């Protein structure tokens, strides 16, 4: 009961727009927040951040929390079903309160951990884009903000790998982590990008998404992708703008590269996509 | 020639003790440095840091550089032979000058990349502990400092997994990265530790090393191990002091745990150890 109370309080604290879930905001006016309480103006140290890896699918799961908030509210980006115990254990050990289990898109290569997390920690809300076509507790769109404590993630629509891909970017404000961090899903991989030949993928759309929504971020923005297959853990916008072997090309060359990848049919897609389309609520009778 | 000149200059700049290689210092008096030139008093943003993973051996290689120094001097900790191209490419792309290829110990599960690096970039110096019994260009011991630009790593002797294990810790000074970072090799793994049943290993020694040299660091010190098998990328001293399932036990229990692990003979040991004992110079006619 205490957990529920804390969660409700947390949500209401961050209410910005009544037409949206109370803890999601579409306001771009960061200044409003400073009127709501006493916030530090320098909070990069507030962010507790962990990058977690699933070796089987080469998926990165990200744990973010506001460690200076009394509730230590936390979220997971792209959790994997098979690493659920590891992730919930570290959350417990660090004394965090998991609030959101978020996905950047409907994955085709692993089953999201969101549903299992919700069955273990019922207060957790699943988050995905409206355009994904997947079920979830909360749908987000371009410009929404997802608050956890005094920190927030901004939602950027980055379709192209799938129709519903989004990128979560840490806030553009002095009390948010510096440099900014972009959780790009499969839109931008380190020196690569996600394939565009299924799930409503479009190389033309991906090119436009990356160049308008990700490569326009400051050069020092850290890029944390959903996968890496070569052992890289992080890149930056500046690096990918200079060295990404696909996305540095002009649009026509990029489309040609993507049309000729000749990749095999994803071995997990027939299991993963149906499961992930009901992400977050497959374990509930709804 | 220019490269050699720059390297020499860099080494001499950091000379502290004539009985040691010019770029290694045993001085603990950080204040001496401030008389040598104009250094920033707040340089946590100076550190360029990359964690790199070798999926086959689950080894982490660490790239550190002083990005604000004109030479952008860089070092690699625990490079792997099979990921050499990846590591040298990223170093080149980031505009860094690789100065040191360092090992925490003589590894038994992979061949170090040090020798290959030296053959590709002859100016690079290999670094390992004197107690390791391995060949290298530079031997370090407890209390030595390894400078790269205006940043340095402090050497702590942490034997137990092997006789020659060392931990590299970022400097304890206001112009060094905060929180501190400890590259623990196999002495402390995340929620684990290295085995102690070969290469001069000793559970008693490991227990003493960790408790005297690592767990005495501030709780927020980041622990970056040489390996992880569960997808963790980082921990902290505080976390391991509280949750490490082996090292939180008393010494006798720890010794008993380590004596009863019943681990298989390492599959790479007969290849890796002989190669790594000549780390850094197996490709040179010495």
* Residue-wise pLDDT tens digits, A149-173: 999 999 999 999 999 999 999 999 9
User: What is the C-alpha separation between A235 and A101, in angstroms, rounded?
Assistant: 24
Residues B2-24, mean pLDDT to the nearest whole number: 37
Nearest to B54 among A53, A61, A231 (CB): A231
Does A110 score more than 60 pLDDT?
yes
Chain A residues 217-236 with a CB less than 8 Å from chain B? 230-234
Does B49 score more than 90 pLDDT?
yes
CB A102 within 8 A of CB A280: no
Domain that holds residue B142: 2-15+45-277
Residues of B within 8 A of A232 (CB-CB) are 50, 52-53, 86, 90
A244 → chain B, closest CA residue? B93
Does B214 score more than 60 pLDDT?
yes
Contact across the interface for B51 and A94, Cβ inside 8 Å: no
CB-based contacts of A147, cutoff 8 Å, min separation 6: A14, A23, A24, A25
What's residue A86's pLDDT? 98
CB A48 within 8 A of CB A38: no
A60 → chain B, closest CA residue? B231
What's residue A24's pLDDT? 58
* Helices of type H across B69-202: 84-93, 114-120
Query: Which residues pair with residue A64 across a beta bridge?
Result: A49, A75
Residue B169, in any domain of the structure = yes
As for how many domains chain A has, the answer is 1
CA B146 to mean position of chain CA atoms:
10
Cα radius of gyration (chain B): 18
Does B9 score more than 80 pLDDT?
no
Q: Under DSSP, is residue A119 helix (H, G, I), strand (E, B) or coil?
A: helix
Residues of B within 8 A of A231 (CB-CB) are 52-55, 83, 86
Size of interface A-B (CB pairs under 8 A): 50
Contact across the interface for A55 and B55, Cβ inside 8 Å: yes
User: What is the C-alpha separation between A152 and B45, in angstroms, rounded?
Assistant: 23
What's residue B271's pLDDT? 86
What's residue B191's pLDDT? 98
Does B281 score more than 50 pLDDT?
yes
Q: What pTM, to 2 d.p., does this model score? A: 0.86
Question: DSSP letter at A81?
Answer: G
Chain A residues 74-113 with a CB less than 8 Å from chain B? 83, 86, 90, 93-94
Name the band, by pLDDT with cuts 50, 70 and 90, for residue A40.
very low
Residue B285, in any domain of the structure = no
Residue A38, in any domain of the structure = no
Residues of A within 8 A of B243 (CB-CB) are 93
B49 → chain A, closest CA residue? A234
- Distance from the Cα of B70 to chain A's closest Cα (Å) equals 19
ipTM (interface predicted TM):
0.85
Please confirm whether the linkage preceding B179 is cis (ω < 30° from 0). yes
What's residue A282's pLDDT? 52
Q: Under DSSP, is residue A68 helix (H, G, I), strand (E, B) or coil?
A: coil
Contact across the interface for A234 and B50, Cβ inside 8 Å: yes
What's residue A284's pLDDT? 44
Does A37 score more than 60 pLDDT?
no
Comparing CA positions, the residue from A35, A1, A33, A3 lying closest to residue A16 is: A33
Query: Which position has the token pair 């927030």?
Result: A152
What's residue A267's pLDDT? 86
Summarised one tens digit per residue, pLDDT across range B114-169 is 999 999 999 999 999 999 999 999 999 999 999 999 999 999 999 999 999 999 99
User: Which of A140-149, B25-34, B106-115 has the weakest average pLDDT?
Assistant: B25-34
Q: The tokens of A12 are what?
A: 């209401």
Name the band, by pLDDT with cuts 50, 70 and 90, for residue A26.
very low
Nearest to B243 among A93, A239, A242 (CB): A93
B53 in reach of chain A (CB within 8 A): yes
Residues A96-117, mean pLDDT to the nearest whole number: 94
Does B266 score more than 50 pLDDT?
yes
Residues of A within 8 A of B51 (CB-CB) are 233-234
User: What is the C-alpha separation between A73 and B22, in angstroms, rounded?
Assistant: 49
Residue B36, in any domain of the structure = no
User: What is the C-alpha separation between B47 and B66, in angstroms, rounded?
Assistant: 5
User: What is the C-alpha separation between B56 and B211, in angstroms, rounded?
Assistant: 30
Contact across the interface for B86 and A243, Cβ inside 8 Å: no
Query: Which residues pair with residue A143 across a beta bridge?
Result: none
B80 → chain A, closest CA residue? A231
CB B244 within 8 A of CB B193: yes
CATH of the domain at B149: 3.60.15.10
A51 in reach of chain B (CB within 8 A): yes
Does B69 score more than 60 pLDDT?
yes
Query: Which residues pair with residue A235 across a beta bridge?
Result: A223
Residue B62, in any domain of the structure = yes
Q: Torsion angle, CA of B95/B97/B103/B108, rounded to 10 degrees?
A: 60
Chain B residues 237-276 with a CB less than 8 Å from chain A? 239, 242-243
Mean pLDDT across chain A: 85
Residue A200 exposed, middle or buried by CB count within 10 Å (0-12, 13-18, 19+):
middle
What's residue B268's pLDDT? 87
Q: What is the DSSP pairing of strand B97-102 with strand B73-77? A: parallel
Q: Which of B55, B231, B238 to mutate to test the interface with A (most CBs of A within 10 A)?
A: B231
What's residue A281's pLDDT? 53
User: Which of A32-41, A95-104, A219-228, B260-269 has the weakest average pLDDT?
Assistant: A32-41
Percent of chain A scored above 90 by pLDDT? 74
Q: Under DSSP, is residue B100 helix (H, G, I), strand (E, B) or coil?
A: strand
Determine the Cα angle at B49 with ends B123 and A211, to 5°. 110
What's residue A266's pLDDT? 86
Query: Which position has the token pair 């206001």?
Result: B174
Query: Which position has the token pair 């792997």?
Result: B80
Does B178 score more than 80 pLDDT?
yes
Q: Torsion angle, CA of B263/B267/B273/B275, rounded to 10 degrees?
A: -170
Summarised one tens digit per residue, pLDDT across range A235-269 is 999 999 999 999 999 999 999 999 999 999 888 89
Nearest to A83 among B55, B231, B243 (CB): B231
Q: How many residues are present in chain A?
A: 286
Name the band, by pLDDT with cuts 50, 70 and 90, for residue A271.
confident
Residue B22, in any domain of the structure = no
Residue A206, in any domain of the structure = yes
A57 vs A20, more confident: A57
- Distance from the Cα of B61 to chain A's closest Cα (Å) equals 9
Question: DSSP letter at B132?
Answer: G
Residue B65, in any domain of the structure = yes
User: What is the C-alpha separation between B78 and B81, in angstroms, rounded?
Assistant: 10
Question: DSSP letter at A77?
Answer: E
What's residue B282's pLDDT? 52
Residues B7-24, mean pLDDT to the nearest whole number: 38
């Amino acid at each position: 009961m205490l957990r529920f109370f804390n969660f409700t309080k947390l949500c209401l604290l961050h209410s910005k727009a009544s037409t949206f879930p109370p803890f999601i905001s579409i306001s771009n006016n960061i200044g409003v927040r400073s009127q709501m309480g006493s916030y530090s103006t320098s909070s990069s140290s507030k962010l507790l951040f962990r990058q977690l890896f699933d070796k089987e699918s080469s998926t990165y799961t990200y744990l973010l929390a506001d460690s200076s908030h009394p509730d230590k509210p936390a979220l997971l980006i792209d959790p994997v079903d098979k690493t659920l115990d590891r992730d919930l254990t570290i959350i417990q050990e660090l004394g965090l309160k998991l609030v959101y289990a978020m996905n950047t898109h409907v994955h085709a290569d692993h089953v999201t951990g969101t549903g299992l997390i919700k069955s273990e920690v019922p207060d957790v809300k699943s988050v995905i884009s409206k355009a994904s076509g997947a079920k979830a507790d909360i749908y987000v769109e371009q410009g929404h903000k997802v608050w956890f404590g005094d920190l927030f993630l901004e939602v950027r629509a980055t379709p192209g790998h799938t129709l519903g891909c989004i990128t979560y970017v840490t806030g553009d404000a002095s009390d948010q982590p510096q440099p900014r961090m972009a959780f790009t899903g499969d839109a931008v991989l380190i020196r690569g990008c996600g394939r565009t030949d299924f799930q409503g993928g479009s190389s033309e759309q991906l090119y436009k998404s990356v160049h308008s929504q990700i490569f326009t971020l400051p050069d020092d923005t850290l890029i944390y992708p959903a996968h890496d297959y070569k052992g890289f853990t992080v890149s930056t916008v500046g690096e990918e703008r200079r060295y990404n072997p696909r996305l540095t090309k002009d649009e026509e060359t990029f489309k040609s590269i993507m049309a000729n990848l000749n990749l095999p049919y994803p071995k997990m897609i027939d299991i993963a996509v149906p499961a992930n389309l009901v992400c977050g609520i497959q374990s509930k009778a709804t």
